[in-house]
Structure 1
Amino acid sequence: MTPPQDQTSAKTGASRIGLGIVEFIIMIALMTASISLGIDSMLPALPNIGQSLQVANPNDTQLVIGVYFLGFGICQLFFGSLSDTYGRRRILLGGLAFYTVTLFAAAWSGSLFALLALRFAQGVGAAAVRITTLAIVRDCFGGREMARVMSYVMIVFMIMPMVAPFVGQVIVAYSNWQWIFILLGIVCAGLFLVAVFRMKETLPVEERLPLSVASVLSGFKTVLTNRITCGYMIGLTLYTGVICAYIVSVQQVFGEVYGLGDWFPIAFAATAAGTAVAQFANGYFVRSFGMRRISHAAMILFTFLGVVGYVVGMFGQPSFTFIYVLISIMLMMFAVITTNCMAISLEPMGHLAGTAAAITSSISTTGGVVLGGIVGQMFDGTAQPMIAGFTIFGVLSILATLWAERGKLFTHPGDTPALEPGMGHV
């Protein structure tokens, strides 16, 4: 007999996993947020880590962040195929358990090398959590309902950059950096226990794929030859480039160009708050207007604002108020676009959601980091390179969307109102 956790039915939505919609969103959001916590909470502790581990070159402590991303990026493809073969629950629980153990172990690191090895391992565990939570959402929801749920999940994810550094700062102010890992480990251990007792399997046994080189290559071929998935994946890559360009440039633009000084953290947090508001609004309106209408309109507005900002900058340095409001609105559009693009890209994949989420996330993350880094290296003492990069990425994303949709924007043959919860069309 099939174990209870492997039994699924034709039910859709949160009922498929045996949870209420609110509990489902909270659980997925907290699991996703644990990945961000593993990055942002480390930032204030880097100098303390360097001193404690007697690191000769202070720049080497930056690897504490870098190797986490390395493990996270490389292993997403691996876990996508595994989750399509063995189910979401097993991979999620394994990832959470591994992540938790490596967090606790990092607190007892005696050297930078040992800490970096454990940080890479943490990235591996985080990759399993990231991919399986995306696939679980896709298993349970489709179309507009998926975009709505992902919007609410991403609200928590967007809030983390505002909260996590403050938490890390408080810990190092009153204790030592090891307690960051201990507290994160306690949080993840709690999430593991909740997942054990509350989360059921969402991928039926009959829909799973055999694990072989041929099946994996076949899955990759299916994903990479689907016009909708690839077109929106290109868009996600470009908008990942947007956020990466912002992160690497914002300190120089706000701090050096406009001399914001001690007000910089507050200004940065406020833009993050704006993206959270945009996610909430998207979750509220997407059921009425659809993913394509909202995301396509946001792309056009994003690109238009970029053009306006660049043209204004050609006549002299704009005021800080102008640049700040412009960037804040563009980042709100970014939040809406990325959530809906991810949902649209996964919509055609069905039981290949794990592989599709892995490929989409891995390619968009890697490509976006490269594109954002190029823009960051072009800083010339003004905001112009960053705004120009935003604008170019916006134009290219519209072209990629037009290609994916065969020349149409705002609509799609399946873009009609949902007839029942969990079954909304794209």
Structure 2
Amino acid sequence: MGLLTALGPLAIDMYLPAFPAIAQGLNTTPGHVERTLASYLLGLAMAQLFYGPFADRYGRKKPLVAGVVIFIVAAIGCAFTTDIEHLTAWRIAQAFGGAAGLVIPRAVIRDNFNTRDASKALSILMLVMGVTPILAPILGGQVLAYANWRWIFGIMALCGTGLLVGVLVTMKETLHPDRVIPLGVGIIGRNYLAMLRDKKFLCYALAGGFGSAGMFAYIAGSPRVFIEVFHVDPQHFGLLFGINAAALIMAAQISARLLNRHTPEFLLRKAQVSLVFMTSLALILTLAGAITIVLLMVCLAGFMASQGFVNPNAAALALTDQGKRLGVASALMGTLQMLCGASAGMVVSVWQTPSALPLTGTLALCAALSWLFGRMAMKAT
């Protein structure tokens, strides 16, 4: 399930080093190539809404197999495309396939575990999700050293094929027949509307969503802040990025261990306080003109470590009491997180000043909203 969850993000990060080569190979502009990434992210957000109802009607395995097959076919299409328009279309199709790996593993975990154990399992998913953005661009760069950019999509197809075989051979259906929900436009609409009216679910989902939004803001804003504001050598950017990713990974695993002694609510509450403190400190230092690259890294590492606690515990708590509509709940939660993340990334990209303020300000806002929705969720319990 962890590797399946990484399939979608793999397709985001692995081809980033190939942007100039793709632009040259397809005789197009870098801006058009960048828009293939935006198209993929939009498709990833919207496609999750479709998998939820299908996973609640036909079980977890069949929609997952279908999604991985779509991902493989689309990756092959990307590899053999001859123009940017078709590459964009194939990328959207690839997102619709990769979205299955985001929605269904969460539902499978919740089928099998209670809230505490689900938090532990989701922390393991965080480990895989944290490693993927580090390794994928490195792998893509190594491919470019020996072959052209089309092989990157070929490797994506091979990874998808390996996971497809794994699903077909080892995965057992986890949806109990008593929890099957009939498929129909009216039923789907009522289920999603019911989820949006479920204050506890919605607030926990948004608590995790705005925490994730901070991560998207960091990913979008850190290259400019590190390289242009603090004049970090681009060759060293990966090291700084890796330090913060390591903080996220280690914290998620510590969270899983602490769940043996503490409840997910307790860990979430403490982590959100830390989230607000670290981002507020970064914002205050920035406004005071006292921020340095060392202080910024301390605040960012603290933020990422706090997020390692927030994300798995908020997700597990959001899916509590959703046994009969776990697919829908997981899909809506994933879409909300993607939309929150896209919004935060847009804010950072539009808010242009020659300082770290767009990054630290957006992080502080996301942390405050995560804390607010977390408190609202706990009051609704």
TM-score past 0.5 threshold = yes
Structure 2 counterpart of 1:16? none
Structure 2 counterpart of 1:385? 358
Structure 2 counterpart of 1:218? 190
Structure 1 counterpart of 2:151? 179
Offset at 1:207?
A: 1.2
Secondary structure of 1:289's aligned partner:
coil
1-structure distance, mates of 2:209, 2:6? 21
1:404 aligns with 2:377: yes
Structure 1 counterpart of 2:123? 151
Offset at 1:392?
A: 2.4
Structure 2 counterpart of 1:236? 208
1:313 aligns with 2:307: no
Write out the 4+ residue segments of structure 1 that deviate beyond 4 Å after TM superposition. none
Larger radius of gyration: 1
TM superposition score normalised by structure 1: 0.86
2-structure distance, mates of 1:253, 1:403? 33
> Are 1:376 and 1:386, in contact at CA under 8 Å, matched by a contact in 2?
no
Higher helix share goes to which structure?
A: 2
Q: Which amino acid aligns with 1:233?
A: A
* Greater alpha carbon shift after TM alignment, 157-166 vs 218-227: 218-227
Q: Which amino acid aligns with 1:161?
A: P
Offset at 1:394?
A: 2.0
Structure 1 counterpart of 2:171? 199
Task: Call closer, same or farther: CA 1:331–1:183 in 2, change over 3 Å.
Answer: same
Aligned with 2:3 (options 30, 33, 37) = 30
Secondary structure of 2:99's aligned partner:
helix
Q: Which amino acid aligns with 1:201?
A: E
- Root mean square deviation, CA, Å: 1.5
Q: Which amino acid aligns with 1:61?
A: V
1:330 aligns with 2:303: yes
Within 5 Å, give how 1:281-320 maps onto structure 2: 281-320=254-293
Aligned with 2:222 (options 230, 235, 250) = 250
After superposition, the C-alpha distances for 1:107-141 in whole angstroms (9 at most, x for unaligned) are 11121112211111100001122211111111111
Unaligned runs of 5+ in 1: 1-27, 413-426
Aligned with 1:98 (options 58, 63, 70) = 70
2-structure distance, mates of 1:290, 1:40? 34
TM superposition score normalised by structure 2: 0.96
1:274 aligns with 2:247: yes
Q: Which amino acid aligns with 1:105?
A: G
Q: Which amino acid aligns with 2:14?
A: S
1:370 aligns with 2:343: yes
| Aligned residues between the structures | 380
Q: Which amino acid aligns with 2:249?
A: A
Structure 2 counterpart of 1:5? none
Structure 2 counterpart of 1:422? none
2-structure distance, mates of 1:72, 1:398? 26
1-structure distance, mates of 2:332, 2:308? 20
> Are 2:48 and 2:335, in contact at CA under 8 Å, matched by a contact in 1?
yes
Q: Which amino acid aligns with 2:269?
A: H
2-structure distance, mates of 1:241, 1:130? 16
